[in-house]
Amino acid sequence: MSVEITTGPPEVRVPVRTEATDTVGTAEAVLSKRTGAPVRLADAEDLGGSDRSVVMRVRIAESPFELPRTVVVKHYGECPEEARSDPFAHEAASCQLTTALPPEARVGPELIAHDAGERLLVLEDLGRGSTLADVLFADDSRVAERALLGWARALGRLHSTTAGCEADFDALMRRLGAKSWTDPVADDIVRSASELPELLSQVLGVDTSPGMVERLGSATELLRSSRYRAFSPSDICPDNSLVTGSGVRFLDFEWGCVRDVAMDAAYLQYPFPSSWCSYALPDNLAESMLSTWRSEIAEVWPELDDDDVLLPRLFDAQLLWVWVSTWWFLPRTGETDRPIDMHMPSPRRSTALVDRWRHLRADAVSAGLDDVAEFADQVVDALVDRFGAGALHLQPYPAFRTE
């Protein structure tokens, strides 16, 4: 039996796996087939995984060939036919694509072996370092700032080295049995474009103006083909970003896709809008992150170093993130204003949304988009009226708190 949640970011709306699997034994068989000789694994360590997969660190106890001392094994359960996308196929194709890059350009784990029939991946073990979330929830602001700039640098490097890779990614997905693939966030943006106006009216009493509808329709052009598309891990949240001595490395490509790079760059401006880990950044740090990202992609897309070219695209991406995250997180009638994630140190949903709409209003004013600014004002006022003045203050990440 499996269930699928229908609202919330893509990572929380996946089939629930219910059958246990012999992950170590299956990994031994996959590695033995890959090397052509018996491989034995030992000292399995559960790394948490999720309802949809088992993730373990294991030691290579016996192999006639040179293999890393330890590897990470990720074993997926079956994907129901009704699921809109297969996370195993997305991750396997993503890891094949990024492993083909030169070692110095990789910002994810190397794919050592995989088996589509067994739905299993054997990946490079990137070690026991801190995630970006760990750093942001610690107490050293300088370390946190360096990590965020490293995150932006890694993202820019990934974009520049995978520019124009859509045909390759499509071929890899089809080889894994996927008849088609989409960016799951893009799917949700399209759905939210038609559903959120009614929700805003019901919950907040805010009517979406024709000018706002027109601007949103224009922004969705980013979801279509453009010359600025590259590979994206899609779920590039702090807990999926490992801070290592050689830079930030991205983990978890279950929703890896190819999309316009502005959609990822907007993650730098409105911190991690699909994540539980969505607090405020110090003034100017987001701009420094954007500059770092631009320095990495300038050689491939020099025109994106021109504000007149980049900033309108970036604004459209920010609008789409604010819109879809409001559709995800706005408490429905009868729901409480709970944290984004009940099990993590998350801000209240209303507080995160107020912060995003306030930022959108400021950016709209700077861009001379009065209709968007006026609408954002209405949403902010309605959120505060509904959920209280406490929604007005989104705290910084703990690393940047001064009290």
pLDDT band at 18 (very low <50, low <70, confident <90, very high): very low
Cα–Cα distance, 121 to 170 (Å, whole number): 19
CATH code assigned to 132-400:
3.90.1200.10
**Dihedral pair phi/psi, residue 225, rounded to 5°:** -60, 140
Cα–Cα distance, 172 to 92 (Å, whole number): 8
What does the pLDDT read at residue 49?
A: 65
**Dihedral pair phi/psi, residue 260, rounded to 5°:** -65, 135
Angle (CA) 263 268 289, round 5°: 130
Handedness of CA 310, 312, 316, 319 (dihedral sign): positive
Model confidence at 283: pLDDT above 90: no
The rounded mean pLDDT for the chain is: 90
pLDDT digits (tens, 9 = 90+) for 291-344: 999 999 999 999 999 999 999 999 999 999 999 999 999 998 888 899 888 888
**Which position has the higher pLDDT, 383 or 277?**
383
Cα–Cα distance, 273 to 267 (Å, whole number): 7
> Model's pTM, two decimal places?
0.91
**Dihedral pair phi/psi, residue 400, rounded to 5°:** -110, 10
Mean pLDDT of 16-36: 77
Other residues' Cβ atoms within 10 Å of the Cβ of residue 48:
8
Contacts (Cβ under 8 Å, ≥6 apart) of 333: 202, 203
Mean pLDDT of 382-397: 90
- What would you report as the CA-atom Rg of the chain, rounded to the nearest whole angstrom? 21
Q: Which residues of 103-134 are buried (b: 16+ CB within 10 A; e: fewer)?
A: eeebbbbbbbbbbeebbbbbbbbbeeebbbbb
Q: First-to-last CA distance in the chain? A: 49
CATH code assigned to 10-124:
3.30.200.20
Model confidence at 16: pLDDT above 60: no
pLDDT band at 13 (very low <50, low <70, confident <90, very high): low
Model confidence at 12: pLDDT above 60: no
- Contact criterion met (CB below 8 Å) for 286 and 268: yes
> Comparing C-alpha atoms, which of 256, 27, 22, 253 is closest to residue 120?
27
**Which position has the higher pLDDT, 50 or 292?**
292
pLDDT above 90: percentage of residues in the chain: 69
Give residue limits of the domains in the chain.
10-124, 132-400
What does the pLDDT read at residue 192?
A: 95
Instruction: Characterize the bridge pairing of strands 70-76 and 120-124.
Output: antiparallel
Model confidence at 242: pLDDT above 80: yes
What does the pLDDT read at residue 178?
A: 84
Cα–Cα distance, 133 to 144 (Å, whole number): 9
Give the three-class secondary structure for 192: helix
Cα–Cα distance, 310 to 295 (Å, whole number): 13
Q: What region, left, alpha or beta, does residue 247 occupy, with left being phi > 0 and alpha being psi -120 to 50 degrees?
A: left
pLDDT digits (tens, 9 = 90+) for 36-46: 889 999 999 98
What does the pLDDT read at residue 245?
A: 87
Cα–Cα distance, 97 to 109 (Å, whole number): 11
Model confidence at 263: pLDDT above 90: yes
What does the pLDDT read at residue 52?
A: 78
Model confidence at 180: pLDDT above 80: no
What does the pLDDT read at residue 135?
A: 96
Cα–Cα distance, 321 to 37 (Å, whole number): 49
Mean pLDDT of 88-103: 95
Model confidence at 7: pLDDT above 70: no
pLDDT digits (tens, 9 = 90+) for 187-233: 899 999 999 999 999 999 999 999 899 999 999 999 988 899 999 99
pLDDT band at 182 (very low <50, low <70, confident <90, very high): confident
Contacts (Cβ under 8 Å, ≥6 apart) of 370: 364
Model confidence at 132: pLDDT above 90: yes
Which DSSP symbol is given to 68? -
Query: How many Cα atoms within 13 Å fall on the side-chain side of residue 339?
Result: 12
Q: Which residues of 167-199 are buried (b: 16+ CB within 10 A; e: fewer)?
A: ebbeebbeebebeebebbbbebbeebbeebbeb
What does the pLDDT read at residue 73?
A: 95
Q: Which residue has the tokens 């060939």?
A: 65
pLDDT band at 57 (very low <50, low <70, confident <90, very high): very high
pLDDT band at 78 (very low <50, low <70, confident <90, very high): confident
What does the pLDDT read at residue 198?
A: 96
- Contact criterion met (CB below 8 Å) for 33 and 9: no
Model confidence at 240: pLDDT above 60: yes
Model confidence at 31: pLDDT above 50: yes
How far from chain centre, in Å, is Cα 221? Answer: 20
**Which position has the higher pLDDT, 252 or 6?**
252
Give the three-class secondary structure for 332: coil
Token pair for residue 222? 């980013």
- Contact criterion met (CB below 8 Å) for 337 and 373: no
What does the pLDDT read at residue 10?
A: 61
What does the pLDDT read at residue 5?
A: 41
Q: Please name the amino acid found at residue 65.
A: F
Token pair for residue 340? 């984004």
Model confidence at 1: pLDDT above 70: no
